[in-house]
């Protein structure tokens, strides 16, 4: 069972296996892409946060970022920009969430913002399908994720930032369309035409030597 699976792809792979679809309640979501690829997606996300805060109606904001360092950097920039606004415009509460954050602090994302405030949640992909956050009306997706990748020339693995995909089963696509619990908007800082059709699978980004040696040692 999955909310983010490309059922057709897997059904065809298993010889036309039957897929059972359970209808869920969906609200209309307007999805916006940039006309040109942003050279600095973090800066673009920051600008979009304040455009929403200053120009749009009530509703919390969910922003996808690639890791803790980016989240803490954007949180600091948001606080700096808030100091430049009139007092009545400063009612924006930043709430980070990433895997290494203590669980009691992660729970803050589920708490409603104080009266008159808007909450902006700065999240890694932990918020893609792992959690459902109430109150989200705006989603900002810069279009990049951090993934483990193997470099055969250097012979080592590292975490690198790569573009996300536009496949129907990608987690971000699901969040953009389904996690908004009321009519809302999703802003993507990438050009739709430049997104890969399918996400590069981990098996294509990993060192296959370990798996091959395990297979050989099992004598299958």
At 73, list the tokens.
Answer: 């950097």
Q: How confident is the model at residue 183 (pLDDT cuts 50, 70, 90)?
A: low
Residues of the chain above pLDDT 70, percent: 70
3-state secondary structure of 134: coil
Task: Using the predicted structure, report yes or no on whether residue 147 has a pLDDT greater than 80.
Answer: no
pLDDT of residue 169: 40
Please tell me the CATH superfamily of domain 26-207, with its number.
P-loop containing nucleotide triphosphate hydrolases (3.40.50.300)
Indicate the range of 43-52, 96-105, 153-162, 200-209 predicted with least confidence: 200-209
Give the C-alpha separation, 103 to 109, whole Å. Answer: 11
pLDDT of residue 206: 66
Residue spans of the domains in the chain: they are: 26-207
- Mean pLDDT score, 91-95: 95
3-state secondary structure of 17: coil
Q: Are the beta carbons of 13 and 184 closer than 8 angstroms?
A: no
The predicted-structure confidence for 24-65, as pLDDT tens digits, reads as follows 666 667 777 777 777 888 999 999 999 999 999 999 999 999
């Amino acid at each position: 069972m999955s909310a983010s699976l490309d059922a057709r792809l897997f059904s065809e792979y298993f010889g036309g296996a039957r897929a059972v679809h359970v209808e869920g309640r969906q609200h209309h979501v307007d999805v916006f892409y940039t006309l040109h690829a942003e050279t600095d997606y973090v800066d673009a996300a920051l600008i979009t946060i304040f455009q929403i805060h200053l120009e749009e109606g009530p509703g919390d904001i969910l922003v996808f970022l690639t890791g803790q360092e980016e989240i803490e950097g954007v949180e600091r920039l948001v606080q700096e920009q808030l100091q430049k606004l009139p007092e009545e415009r400063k009612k924006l509460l930043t709430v980070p969430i990433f895997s290494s954050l203590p669980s009691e602090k992660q729970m803050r994302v589920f708490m409603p913002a104080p009266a008159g405030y808007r909450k902006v949640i700065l999240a890694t992909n932990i918020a893609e399908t792992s959690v459902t956050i109430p109150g989200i009306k705006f989603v900002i997706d810069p279009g990049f994720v951090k993934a483990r990748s193997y470099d055969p020339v250097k012979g080592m693995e590292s975490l690198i930032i790569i573009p996300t995909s536009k496949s129907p089963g990608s987690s971000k696509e699901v969040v953009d369309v389904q996690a908004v619990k009321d009519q809302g908007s999703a802003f993507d800082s990438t050009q739709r035409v430049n997104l890969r059709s399918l996400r590069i699978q981990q098996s294509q980004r990993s060192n296959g030597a370990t798996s091959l040696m395990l297979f050989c040692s099992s004598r299958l």
